Amino acid sequence: MNQLGQELRASALSCLIEPDATRKAAGVRELARVWASGTMSLEAHAEIVAPPAIPGRPVRPELVLPKALPHRSMVTAEGRATLIHAMTHIEFNAINLALDALWRFAAMPRKYYADWLRVADEEAQHFSMLAGHLQTLGYQYGDFPAHNSLWEMADKTRGDILARIALVPRTMEARGLDATPKVRAKLAQAGDMKAAQIMDIILREEVGHVSVGNRWYAYLCAQRGLEPVATYANLAVQYAAPVLRGPFNLDARRAAGFSEAELAALISPESAKTHSNLPCRMAQSPSA
């Protein structure tokens, strides 16, 4: 990987364009360590020109449409490995999503960039744990096909930070709060308790990651004078976000900072329309 620089956002971009998954994860861990040491600067207002190849990714896994992914039985070792591989790929994409949120959007408070670096660091840990466990089963990251839905939404929202925060951490990644307990149960039932324990760590830390998204979404809505629930509904239509279907992990979503009005709109999307004429729910700016 390219050597880390002296500035946070440019260094995050350097990690983002790294194609090797293992080196990317290690680079993010090092970036977090250097930032924590206090020796790295932050140029929050700098305009950084994006290189053409974003994000960097390995040649494998082959990326296919979600419907093209084969379904394998969990009673076989290969079937369990396929599921763990899918989770590993999600965590690889999650590293890229956090890095992209960090470098791409200028003129945010210092805490914004520190938050997304912490998320990227924890996603790198998740990826490394899953990739390592996959190896104990005789497989490598890249051995099975995967889909690219997470990054596709990031690409669609690259021009507006409000849309990005609304529809990636608060939508695409928040789906993991609903899905992870089911994945954990499947792995435990199949006897893979190590993978189940990794899922427990991921769920606990993903609550914090979605909370970061909720915090900055509220901040941006307040900054623009927008009502959050109706604004989210409008953005979901504008950017063709996937329709979310239950069952939902409401406890995890509450812990991640979704309001009761947002949860009500999630369960009954029509209810979001009743918020269209409400004043903005003011959010205090996170401390810089």
Instruction: For the beta carbon of residue 48, count every other beta carbon within 10 angstroms.
Output: 14
* 80-131 confidence digits (pLDDT tens): 999 999 999 999 999 999 999 999 999 999 999 999 999 999 999 999 999 9
Evaluate if residue 273 carries a pLDDT over 80: no
The CATH H-level (homologous superfamily) assignment of domain 64-275 is Ferritin, core subunit, four-helix bundle (1.20.1260.10)
Separation between Cα atoms, residue 251 and residue 258, nearest integer Å: 10
Separation between Cα atoms, residue 62 and residue 242, nearest integer Å: 23
Q: What confidence score (pLDDT) does residue 240 get?
A: 95
Q: What confidence score (pLDDT) does residue 287 get?
A: 42
Evaluate if residue 174 carries a pLDDT over 70: yes
Instruction: Name the average pLDDT for the chain.
Output: 91
* 32-80 confidence digits (pLDDT tens): 999 999 999 999 999 998 888 899 999 999 999 888 887 777 778 899 9
Q: Which residues pair with 7 in a beta bridge?
A: 41
* 130-143 confidence digits (pLDDT tens): 999 999 999 999 99
Q: Are 131 and 61 in contact (CB under 8 A)?
A: no
Q: Cβ neighbours of residue 230 under 8 Å, at least 6 residues apart? A: 272, 273, 275, 276, 278
